[in-house]
Chains A and B, each alone.
Chain A
Amino acid sequence: MPPSPRPVSRRRLLQASALALPGAWALAACAREQPLSGPTGAASSAAGSASGSAAPSPSGIPIASPQNPIKWPINPGNEPIASGLEPEANATLRIYNYPDYIDKGVLKGFEKEYADYNVSIELSTFNYYPEALTKIRSGSVPFDVTFLSYNFMGRLVYGDLIRPLNHDYIPNMAANIWEEFQNPFYDLEWQYTVPYTIYTTGIGWRSDLIPEDIGARPNPYDVFWDSKYAGEIAVLDDDREVIGMTILRDGGTDVNTADPAVLGAARDAMLEMLSLSQPRVTITGYTDIPEGVMSLSQAWSGDMLAAVNYLPQDVDVSTLRYWFPQDGLGLVNNDFMCVLKGGENPVLAHHFLNYMLTNEASLANLSWNGYQPPLKMLTPETMVADGYIPDNLKQAVVLPEWFVAGYPILELPPEVEAEYQAIWQQFKAGA
């Protein structure tokens, strides 16, 4: 359950593809999976060497957090590619991403820019990251580039699945990207990753359906426990986002807590929410809110910007609202891109990452999917002035300092993760 947002315009169709999932899952179980040769050993030795700076989980993989920033090891034989190599010619660059999370026009732009090398791009998609990880490990398709968030970083490194980057190919990182991402806690010295988007989790609504200014409440999260809005509201279909929001509502700040008392209180509060406001649980708010199917939802900032594209003709853009605490003390997360070791075109993959960090490609992608790239040139003022967002959605813009101030949703040790999953299952079972 990576909290990665998918501004999925055809999400409903995709839900249907999940119909085929049980079968796919059975097949996946049959599929050959690369044994953890080395990584288990590497994991324990690395955990030993990293124990000073990182908290190892019981499985032996350290977990990155702002308090425990991690410089991931580089496994022997997995050194970065040499500088100055020519991109592979006549290549098919295989991209593996969430559905509708990248603008196909931007991909076309890359093909055009590298037309001399006769490059074509093949985009494959997954619905859940665990599903993606199974496929990447099976090695059945040589994917070159994938998109993910913090939760699977350690597994990709220790599973020997990703390739460290040669920074010479990616000058746009220093040129265009926020200072905060030049040495991020989840990947010190950005050895493996470059940022893709950054987003907050707040509340989105249509002001003509809900006239109340939710953001003016002493505790805006209380709206999900307000029986006045029963049947009209929704929370995100993501365990960590909802549990995290509940912890914040009750005055906590550690959205990755392992404290049973806090988690128990969160569970009780979530069950209370079920009976008070009967929320729907969905990530389709970016179409459902503009269409009026629901009036208010917990929402990712990018989804509310994407919602502008789904408004019916007779509804004005100015009716859309998004609230996020403007001191940055809320859920702030980012997704990043990395180069997979199993890919056939490592040089081209580096060029692709660099291309995605150009202002032009990033902005084109932003205006298509609503998700903000951490570009230095973007500020709330310029985004409004340049027409990327309407003035009433200004709170959906993410500020660089929030990456430090906000609360990221981090990877959990397996036994804590199981606690979160149990709470979520109880919530989703409607019990």
Chain B
Amino acid sequence: MRDVGDRSTRFLWPILGLPAMVWIALFFLIPLYVVLCVSFGTVDPIFRSPVPIWNPLEWQFTQVQVVWDRLFGPDNFYLPAVLRTLLYVVIAVGACLLIAFPVAYFTARYAGKYKGLVLALLVAPFFISYMMRMLAWINLLQPDGLVNSIITLGGAIPLDINWLSGNPYTVVMGLIYGYVPYMLLPLFAALDRISPSLIEAARDLGASGFDLFRRVILPMSLPGIVAGTLLISLPMMGDYFTSDMLSKSPNTAMIGNLINLSIATPGQSGQAGALLILVLLVLLIPMILYTRSNARAEVRS
């Protein structure tokens, strides 16, 4: 009997996992290989379309070299956009954390029987596409839009703010708004898991409110903070849409905008691919660190 059971479970889990593996192979690994072949490939001299080189032994490095020079060479005009992206992402992640933490804490601890409802409301933005939400902001932020008429109390205060004139703060605001829900959920999951008895115990032992936060809640919610930070900073790094919609100014261009521009430029798909791979490699580092620390935490528990 035992043998049979073992054999069936031995095949059961791989079979259940198969669709996901096939999915990843079809829609991630193979496309990624195509990107590599395009980046290390050549360009059709007449049509300026990418000519991928499928054999890794024949890969050429000219397009990667171009991108590398623009990042770190003497004429490194990509670098300011990269630094700008990092700055925007750091600010936006910090702001998301500040906004999401109290909300998640409240939902986990005090929402009581309304917990489900509050959560549903928090997830509601997911039902509307990112693009639609950004379009809504364009309307709200227009010179005669709702935001300005509220700030100026319907025109009573003579303030003339053009939010859409290519400001970095509008772009960062858009990033914060767009990604805050993705921060909320992992934070909620982590905070919801903290047992109330632990908090009561800390209180009984004389911890002040701040001590309670610093020594119990914060350390225990750390996995959620890390997960949320990764979850939103990775897509933000590649975001070009927010800047395109809310700013349209080169002064707020992010890495994603550079990649998008290269794709739209004839003969530069390879450079776009090379840029993409460089970003991917850099982003892989925190990803690997995260999964490793997660695995270790699991072993410990």
Q: A residues within 8 Å of B by Cβ?
A: 1, 12-13, 15-16, 18-19, 21-23, 25-26, 29-30, 33, 36, 39-40, 43, 58-61, 127-128, 130, 133-134, 137, 155, 158-159, 231-232, 234, 237, 274, 278-282, 284, 291-294, 414, 417-418, 421, 424-431
Contact = CB atoms under 8 A, between A and B. Distances in A.
B166 A426 contact: no
Interface of B: 31, 34-35, 37-38, 44-50, 52, 70, 77-81, 84, 131, 135, 138, 142-144, 162, 164-167, 241, 244-245, 247-253, 257-269, 272, 276
Contacts of A29: 34, 37-38, 50, 52, 269
Contacts of A155: 46-47
Nearest to A418: B267
B131 A232 contact: no
B135 A12 contact: yes
A414 B47 CA distance: 10
B262 A133 contact: no
A274 B250 contact: yes
Contacts of A58: 45
B251 A274 contact: yes
Given A26-B31, A26-B34, A21 B251 contact: no
13 contacts: A25-B263, A29-B52, A130-B264, A279-B249, A280-B247, A280-B249, A292-B143, A425-B70, A427-B250, A429-B77, A429-B78, A430-B251, A431-B77
Given A137-B49, A428-B261, 11 more contacts: A18-B264, A19-B131, A29-B34, A59-B46, A130-B265, A280-B247, A293-B143, A414-B267, A425-B77, A430-B250, A430-B253
The 4 A-B pairs of least Cβ separation, nearest first, read A231-B165, A431-B77, A430-B250, A280-B248
B252 A430 contact: yes
Given A425-B261, A430-B84, A431-B78, A158 B248 contact: no
Contacts of B247: 280
Given A1-B265, A21-B260, A130 B49 contact: yes
A334 B79 CA distance: 37
Contacts of B269: 25, 29
B35 A12 contact: no
Given A12-B135, A15-B244, A29-B269, A428 B250 contact: yes
B263 A22 contact: yes
B117 to A, nearest CB: 31
Contacts of A33: 49
Contacts of A431: 77-81
